[in-house]
Structure 1
Amino acid sequence: MTTDHATAADGTRLYLRLEGPPTGPALVLANSLGTDLHLWDAVLDNLPRGLRVLRYDMRGHGRSEVPPAPYAMGTLVSDAATVLDHAEITDSTFIGLSIGGMVAQGLAVKRPDLVRALVLSNTAAKIGTPTLWQRRIDAIRTGGLASIADDVMARWFSPSFRKGPDLAAWRARFLETPEEGYLGCCAAIAGTDFYTPTAALRLPTLGLAGSDDGATPADLVRETVDLIPGSRFQILRRTGHLPCVEAPNAYAQALTTFLTETGQLP
């Protein structure tokens, strides 16, 4: 395993982690709002060996630097390109969850040389409205992340998960997110509508949704995935916005099947 930093165009240092053989099929994973690259830990434990796996922390999250808010989606897309170029990865299967899925769509449009196939997980071409995001930004400016934490957990996880012992740890992780980074990414989501560019994409695409997702409901995910001809859509039952946490085995199996279908695995 190699850890490193790539430097974005504006000087922001982006933390990345690279695992697997240099010649393995490239898999790139982009985290959701309020998480970091550890979002994927349990899934990676269940994937086939031999993959070249790149994870990174979105700006303002995890071990990446936290420039002042607001951020633009174009900047986040450029960050992803910077990370892949730094790792010398092209022709990847890019997996993005929530805001990471928006970045995936933008990267596939801007740098098709970097993306062979897409997995759009719990995401959409447009999420919410500018008014909704501004209300969230205002609430955080007033009361901090703690003021929205319970609502976020309700959107992130299914009812059964919220009754279990692991919820407290994920709530704590959420509260460790740098506030400025969270606000910056909220602004990026608020300003993004990818319906037209995503509808122009022509590459293998898998859409994944959670049946109990309170942030990006399954029908919203399906609507976006259906913009891309030939795409496939799958619902992971009894999971919320982070199915990679609630059902890592099923999530990894869906990825493995897709990698096989697209020729990345034998």
Structure 2
Amino acid sequence: MKLPIGDIEINVVDSGAPQGAPVVFAHALGLDLSVWDAVVALMPPQLRLIRFDLRGHGQSEVPPAPYTMGALVRDAEALLDTLEVRDAVFVGNSIGGMIAQGLAVKRLDQIRALVLSNTAAKIGQPALWAERIAQVQRSGTGAIAAAALDKWFSPAARKTEAAQACARRVAETAAEGYTGCCAAISGTDFYTPTSGLRLPVLAIAGGHDGSTPPDLVRETQLLVPGSQFALIHRAGHLPMIDQPEAFAQRLTDFLHDIGHL
């Protein structure tokens, strides 16, 4: 369903147990909420599972670029307020994990724990993102789909239908939405605010991740005292795609550890 959130409409799927403990999922750049399908299917039935498309992605509205990380965080904040969600576990992959950090700093009433998947407090340098934006503005998102596969998946996994579907999603993402979120990532450095967080955190890294390598994920995890780190050896940047069983198991174990299940 599409919900009016601030000045745009956000596409959201709210499934599972309506009165269950909420778990919120935010996807990576150039993808959509469907990347969580396999993981959601493996989660315990007593949870309320909320997935949404970022602004400019999937079936959400595509406002003019550029976007700020503050706007993306406000989208998530307003969405959870609209759905009357409190004390959620927020699972964010890549840019979704940056949104998770920003929202936890801003609204601890909404967030009781974070799962930071293949993400960091800062990802890349502004020059890298400026080059990516220029490339997409010249040639569209289809021009960067193959390069995304190379960074996101191991050589063997790139040939799978699941990986190829991700490439198609990138190519179908609106250039305005993609470059808008590139600008948001470029302008974000959460090292200081994330280091002030005091809540349960599980950081998940993939052994074959070329976008946010395990050392970068661990560096962010170590900012939060008492946080946990899990490495999925055969996964890339999208472990919910290439290793959904392992991802779902680590997520479920974490939910048990913190009493969310």
TM-score, normalised with respect to structure 2: 0.98
**Equivalent runs, 1:51-70 vs 2, <5 Å:** 51-70=47-66
* 1:225 aligns to 2:221 (yes or no): yes
Q: Which residue does the alignment assign to 1:101? A: 97
Deviations 1:7-26 (A, max 9, x none): 22xx1111111112222111
Q: How many corresponding residue pairs?
A: 261
List aligned pairs for 1:123-142, cutoff 5 A.
123-142=119-138
Which amino acid is 1:261 matched to? D
By how many angstroms is 1:6 displaced? 3.3
CA distance in 2, matches of 1:165, 1:133: 28
Q: Which runs of 5+ in 1 are unaligned?
A: none
Amino acid at match of 1:167: A
Query: Once superposed, which parts of structure 1, at least 4 consecutive aligned residues long, lie more than 4 Å away?
Result: none
Structure 1 Cα separation of the partners of residues 87 and 162 of structure 2: 36
Q: Which runs of 5+ in 2 are unaligned?
A: none
Contact map agreement 2:133 2:179 (CA 8 A) in 1: yes
Q: What is the Cα-based RMSD across aligned positions, in Å?
A: 0.9
Distance (whole Å) between structure 2 residues aligned to residue 166 and residue 54 of structure 1: 22
Q: Secondary structure of the equivalent of 1:233?
A: strand
**C-alpha separation in 2, matches of 1:174 and 1:235:** 25
Identity percentage of aligned residues: 54
User: 1:160 Cα deviation (Å)?
Assistant: 1.3
State the shift of 1:257 in Å: 0.2
How far residue 164 of structure 1 moved from its aligned partner, in angstroms, is 2.9
2:199 pairs with 1:203:
yes
Q: Using a 3 Å threshold, how does the CA distance of structure 1 residues 91 and 174 change in structure 2: closer, same or farther?
A: same
Counterpart of 1:27 in structure 2 is 23
Check if 1:236 corresponds to 2:232.
yes
Alignment of 1:145-156 (within 5 A): 145-156=141-152
* In structure 2, C-alpha distance between the alignment counterparts of 1:27 and 1:180, rounded to whole Å: 29
Whether the aligned pair in 1 keeps the contact of 2:62 and 2:174 (CA below 8 Å) is: yes
* TM-score normalised per structure 1: 0.96
Give the Cα–Cα distance (whole angstroms) in 2 for the partners of residues 4 and 151 of structure 1.
31
Assess if the C-alpha contact under 8 Å between 1:6 and 1:16 holds in 2: no
The question of 1:171 aligning with 2:167 is answered yes
How many angstroms does 1:236 deviate by? 0.6
Among 146, 151, 154, the alignment partner of 1:158 is 154
Write the letter of the residue equivalent to 1:5: L
Give, as a single letter, the amino acid of the residue that structure 1 aligns with 2:100.
Answer: A
